[in-house]
């Protein structure tokens, strides 16, 4: 979801899932956005905390996370040069292409 055009993106995501919520959130923004990521989770959902573009502090209520049996998992990534080196080294083999 585009958080700049839809600041309350979690409401749109809940609408799209008929209120069920989502199983996985890739959280790149951090800061107070984590509370929206938690609000949109389905029961047993997972937040993969990857980045902190708006701040590294995570503040949210623990009770909804506990009731949903939710998981927050930190994902660390390397620096850009390693990523570019890896992409140069990988030679993918495309077996088939599927239409959306």
Residues 6+ apart with CB under 8 A from 62: none
| Residue 88 pLDDT grade (very low, low, confident, very high; cuts 50, 70, 90) | very high
Confidence of residue 54 (pLDDT cuts 50, 70, 90): confident
Question: Which residue is associated with the tokens 């995501």?
Answer: 13
Residue 61 has pLDDT above 80, yes or no: yes
pLDDT at 99: 92
> 73 has which bridge partners?
48
Listed in sequence order, the DSSP H helices in 27-78 are: 33-39, 62-67
**What is the spatial distance between Cα 26 and Cα 56, in angstroms, rounded to a whole number?**
15
| Domain edges within the chain | 9-89
Domain 9-89 has CATH 3.40.50.720: yes
pLDDT tens digit sequence for 1-43: 678 888 889 999 999 999 999 999 999 988 888 999 999 999 9
């Amino acid at each position: 979801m585009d958080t700049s055009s839809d600041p309350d993106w979690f409401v749109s995501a809940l609408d799209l899932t008929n209120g069920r919520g989502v199983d996985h959130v890739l959280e790149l923004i951090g800061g107070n956005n984590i509370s929206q990521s938690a609000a949109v989770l389905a029961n047993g959902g997972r937040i993969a905390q990857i980045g902190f573009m708006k701040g590294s502090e995570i503040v949210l209520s623990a009770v909804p996370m506990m009731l949903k049996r939710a998981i927050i998992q930190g994902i660390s990534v390397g620096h850009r040069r390693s990523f570019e080196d890896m992409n140069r080294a990988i030679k993918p083999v495309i077996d088939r292409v599927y239409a959306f």
